[in-house]
Structure 1
Amino acid sequence: MSSDNDIATCDPIKASPPSEEVDVSPPKYSWYHGVFFNATVVGISAFAAPGLWNAMNSVGAGGQQTPYLVMAGNAILFAVMTLTCLTGSMMANRFGLRNSLVVGTVGYVIYSAALYTNNRYGTEWFIYLGSAVCGLSAGIFWATEGTIMLSYPEPEKRGRYLAYWLSYRNSGSILGGIINLAFNYRGRTTGKLDWRTYIVFVVLQCLGPISSLLLTPPEKVVRRNGSRVQLSDRISDLEELKALTRVLFRRDFLLIIPYFVYVTWELPYISAYLSLYFSVRSRALASLVSAISQVATTLAFGAFLDWTGVSLNKRARYGYIVMMILIGGCWIWGVIIQNEYTHHKPALDWDDGGFGRGWALYIFWQINFSLTYNFGFWLIGFLAREPKEIVRYMSIARAAESAGQCISSGISSTSSPLISALGVSFALWGIAVIPAYFVVRQVGVIHIGPEKSTPDSHENDKGLERS
């Protein structure tokens, strides 16, 4: 049996070929070492950490009265995350996925505690410190959770498992929405959440590190079909850095970088939008309804991406096209509403006339975010040429997301008109949509995933340039 040190040096990614020394008999399936159990572990960790973090931010600016201080803190958080996400593959290579997942959940608790002290006592310095610590921790978590959810499941079940995992993350927002609404249902005007809300969040987020300890190391995972997660030996940090750089400068990955920058770019803007124009209780209701909507649409989208009745290439292209048309339509809707709100500066409660148009738009924005998030992970699973590249792709993609959200949070931390922030988000969607499609249309043709690839198949990469 491997020691803990041996486990820490394993990475979820390249199978050793059978030899006389290797037992090639079919491994015995155990629920504790199965994909579903480990997806549940990652899901609970995601529920407790980023899920509840999203719940606090889905009420607008962490539940504070104005968005500016929290957005400044979030800009620091995502600036730090940009760096720590890039080191995600090196962390997993050196310390293993389980240890990385545990460390990755700790910073979220400190961030929530900072929001509590600011809400109740007006403490500002802790917001900046808590944001920085959360950035250090969350960058590792972001890269690790995605790597596990792309490496552990069978390729043909990846879409459903991604949706299952993201449902836990969104369930954090559902519970958070219930908590927000329970403590703040009397808040008919704009303002900040009840301070008791944050105590519940801090306690629940302590589940993250505990849950993460239950993760099965990749070399012990056995899928229902008897196959194992592919592994590879640990390499030096310098070699890992060189491999990371090679992935970064591949043409197909450069084409989808704008997509990953866009994925989280809109979140600071829509958070500021909700906090400035809607009452406390309508914001709490929005956090609950948006989370439920995200769970339903993500599960449906994941089922479509795994639907074998349609070819893989068509699923990729059709799913991407419909998703991007929906997003573009919502941005046009947003221009109309935001222009109106910029001039009239409403403070809308749920029984006010005209409340539904702007409030429903926020729900659709959150659904759009969830769909792009899910599709981006699914796409990465097919771009990787070998299993070990999954964590590298994930690290760079999450760094791009963090960089985008850092800049967007910085913009939203100022008092500049929100119509400007909307315009930048809309423009970035326009920049991202075409280049990413050049890669999406090759899914199932050139990009077939590491578990189906052969060394010769990568000679076909030149076909992307000819097509």
Structure 2
Amino acid sequence: MADSKTDSKTAAPSAREESLHSSPIYAVDGAQGIDLEQYRATVPLWKRVWQHSLTQMMLLSVQAFCGPAMADAIAGLGGGGLATTQTSNISTAILYAMLAVVCFMGGPLVNKLGVKWALVIGAASFPIQGSAYYCNSKFGNQWYLILSGAISGIGTACWYVAEAGAIMTLAPSGARGKYLALWIVSRNLGQLVGGAINLSKNHVKGADGGITPDTYIAFVIIECLALPFALLIRPFEHVVRSDGTRIITAETLSTKMEFKRIAKTMTSKLIMLSALWALWSFFYSGSWSTYLGTYFTVRARALSSLVSPFFCIVGCFGLGFILDMKHLSQRRRAQIGLFTVVILNVGVYIWSIIMQVKFNHNDPGKVDWEDGLYPSSFLPYFFVQTTGPLSQSYMYWLLSSFATDAQENVRNGAAFRCIEAIGQAISYGMNTQTTGDPLTGFCVTFALLGAALVPMIMLVNMTPDRIPADVVAEQQNAAREKGEDA
């Protein structure tokens, strides 16, 4: 009886599959999955552009520009731009604690809601924390800033999990590095705009205390723009990749089964080996936020948020080029990528620790951009704003190398985001207890990188030579062609 059920399931496609493949969008064309000529002939140009994978990635990137990038620009002011860093660090620690909790359940949540509606919920929450910083700066309102951390953590978690699944799923196999670079660059372009706003409103020499309240209004306006772009996102099954392949999606699971998958995902070899890397990947942010708020003048902090993303744009496309080199196997590219990211991070951490030890022996006060000390004290922050995103981009590329379908990408992305958020919550929480000495944070971050290296080497050496989802797609197409011939 069990065999007959298995045979019938293998022989007869589900109604969902039949509806997909009977549409011109999913007409089968050998291993490619779509008859592109028929697709172009039967689908209007506007619709083809809308459901193209690059268009969807750009819509996602615009949201990253409006939301996380603006939050990063505020963080780039040091202590959120406030006169004292403690309240900002408490709020941010709460945000990442809530983000970790929701991300833990993010796989079932996003797979039930759908990527689009998870992005919509997240985009709607973006302006909350920006408005809380304004109220704190303008009226001294601290409770709203702390509460906003919790609310934003929930909404941002929905968005982050959906984003992680999308960035690992949308790209065709030969262009994943470039797609991920586009995503990272959009976040850094957002920081450039945010930095320009910061500098235009906080450039007067001798300004003391926090950033001007008007600065936050500009951020809130941009954060509000994410919502309409989230509404334009298409479900995965309607997306057509640039190489003609379709996105492999699994059958929808029950809520009970989705929650059972949490334990399976969190204890999988993929997540266990990448867990320390996830914990480390953004751990540096709390220490560097405290570093900027403690040692730099208002206008120097504003300048840092403007210029720090420049090198990241070059670096991310450079890493994307390495990860997309077609003459190397996927495993070899993974090894080269890991070596590149680790060497760059080690250099930055050594430099930052040396600078902080010097500051502990001789307090520089508030460093301004006209001071001779500014270049050597600012450059480590400048470079960590490149090496940090490179580490993220590389990890998502690596995770996507193991996935068999889009839902698995969402679950893996949720697990990685959860552990990453735990690291950020610990980092900001740890920095609420430090008074002007980020050295502990720098040393802990460096130690975490060392601890993460051995399991990451093991994971990289397990990287399959081809993405399992691509192999599954080819097998499905071959089986379908065989059935049609019979």
Matched with 1:421 is 441
Query: Does residue 373 of the first structure (1) align with residue 392 of the second (2)?
Result: yes
Q: How far apart, in 1, do the equivalents of 2:463 and 2:15 lie?
A: 23
> Aligned partners of 1:385 and 1:20: how far apart in 2?
19
Residue 249 in structure 1 maps to residue 267 in structure 2 = yes
| Cα-to-partner distance string for 1:139-158 (whole Å, 9 max, x where unaligned) | 11111012112112211111
Distance 2:368 2:471 in 1: 53
Deviates more, 1:405-414 or 1:230-239: 230-239
Alignment partner of 1:383 is 2:402:
yes
CA contact (8 A) 1:189 1:349 kept: no
Return the alpha-carbon distance in structure 2 between the equivalents of residues 253 and 421 of structure 1. 24
What amino acid is aligned across from residue 426 of structure 1 in structure 2? F
Q: Which runs of structure 2 are paired with 1:141-156 in the superposition (5 Å)? A: 141-156=159-174
**Gap change, CA 1:37 and 1:448, over 3 Å in 2:** closer
Alignment check: 8 A CA contact 2:250 2:405 kept = no
Question: 261, 280, 286: which one pairs with 2:304?
Answer: 286
Aligned to 1:39: 57
Could you tell me how far apart the structure 2 residues matched to 1:89 and 1:279 are?
A: 42
What SS does structure 1 have at the residue aligned with 2:283? Answer: helix
Using a 3 Å threshold, how does the CA distance of structure 1 residues 385 and 219 change in structure 2: closer, same or farther? Answer: closer
Secondary structure at the aligned position of 1:222 is classed as coil
Q: SS where residue 415 of structure 1 aligns?
A: coil
Question: Structure 2 vs 1, CA of residues 238 and 182 (structure 1 numbering), >3 Å: closer, same or farther?
Answer: same
1:232-381 → structure 2 map (5 Å cutoff): 232-346=250-364, 347-381=366-400
SS of residue in 2 equivalent to 1:231: coil
1:205 equivalent among 208, 223, 241:
223
Normalising by structure 2, what TM-score?
A: 0.87
The 1:454–1:165 alpha-carbon spacing in structure 2 relative to 1, beyond 3 Å, is: closer
> Residues 247 and 406 of structure 2 are in contact (CA less than 8 Å); yes or no, is this contact kept in structure 1?
no
Q: What do residues 7-62 of structure 1 show as CA deviations (whole Å, max 9, x unaligned)? A: xxxxxxx9976799845352625111101111111011111110111011011111
Does the CA contact (< 8 Å) of 1:15 and 1:231 recur in 2?
no
Whether 1:134 and 2:152 are equivalent positions in the alignment is yes
Alignment partner of 1:93 is 2:111 = yes
The one-letter code of the counterpart of 1:420 is T
Q: Which amino acid aligns with 2:463?
A: V
Q: State whether residues 177 and 288 of structure 1, in contact with CA within 8 Å, keep that contact through their aligned partners in structure 2.
A: yes
CA deviation profile, 1:46-99 (whole Å, cap 9, x unmatched): 111101110110111111122111001111000000011122222222111111
Residue type of the alignment partner of 2:218: V
* Letter in structure 2 aligned against 1:208: A
Structure 1's 453 and 218: CA in aligned 2 closer, same or farther, altered over 3 A? closer
Counterpart contact for 1:327–1:368, Cα < 8 Å = yes
Aligned-residue sequence identity (percent) comes to 29
Equivalent in the alignment of 2:245: 227
Residue in 2 that maps onto 1:116: 134
Pick from 401, 423, 433: which aligns with 2:453? Answer: 433
| 1:272–1:32 CA distance, 2 compared to 1 (3 A) | same
Contact 1:381 1:449 (C-alpha < 8 Å) held by counterparts: no
Instruction: Work out the number of aligned pairs and report it.
Output: 442
Aligned in 2, Cα 1:455/1:262: closer, same or farther, shift over 3 Å? farther
Cross-structure match for 1:6 = none
Match of 1:405 among 407, 414, 424: 424
**Equivalent runs, 1:189-204 vs 2, <5 Å:** 191-204=209-222
Counterpart AA for 1:270: W
Call closer, same or farther: CA 1:348–1:42 in 2, change over 3 Å: same
Query: 2:18, 2:434 → 1: CA distance?
Result: 62
8 A Cα contact 1:15 1:232, kept in partner: no
The separation in 2 between residues aligned to 1:213 and 1:358, in whole angstroms, is 43
Which one of 417, 429, 444 corresponds to residue 464 of structure 2? 444
Question: Deviation of residue 419 (structure 1)?
Answer: 1.3
| 1:397-450 deviation line (CA, Å, top 9, x unaligned) | 0001100000111011123532112111111111111211111122234x7342
- Find the aligned partners of 1:19 and 1:73 in 2 and give their Cα distance: 48
Distance 1:20 1:273, change over 3 A: closer
* Letter matched to residue 367 of structure 1: T
- The Cα of 1:252 is off from its aligned counterpart by 3.3
Q: Which residue of 1 aligns with 2:414?
A: 395
- CA distance in 2 between counterparts of 1:453 and 1:21 reads 16
- 1:53 equivalent in alignment to 2:71: yes
Matched AA of 1:139: A
Which structure: larger Rg? 2
Gaps of at least 5 residues in structure 1 are 1-13, 457-467
RMSD (Å) for aligned C-alpha atoms: 2.2
Pick closer, same or farther for the CA change 1:246–1:277 going to 2, 3 Å. same
- Check whether the contact 1:16–1:232 (CA below 8 A) recurs between aligned residues: no
Shift of 1:372: 0.4
On the 8 A contact 1:255/1:436 being kept in 2, the answer is: yes
Cα pair distance change 1:196/1:229, threshold 3 Å: same
Residue identity matched to 2:460: V
The residue aligned with 2:10 is: none
Q: Which residue of 1 aligns with 2:3?
A: none
Deviations along 1:206-265, whole A, 9 cap, x unmatched?
011111001112121112332222223321111011122112112232011000110111
Q: Take 1:147 and 1:216, find their aligned partners in 2: how far apart are those partners?
A: 13
Q: CA deviation at 1:453?
A: 5.1
- Equivalent position of 1:7 in the other structure: none
CA distance 1:357–1:281, shift in 2 (3 Å): same
Which letter does structure 2 place at the counterpart of 1:336?
A: I
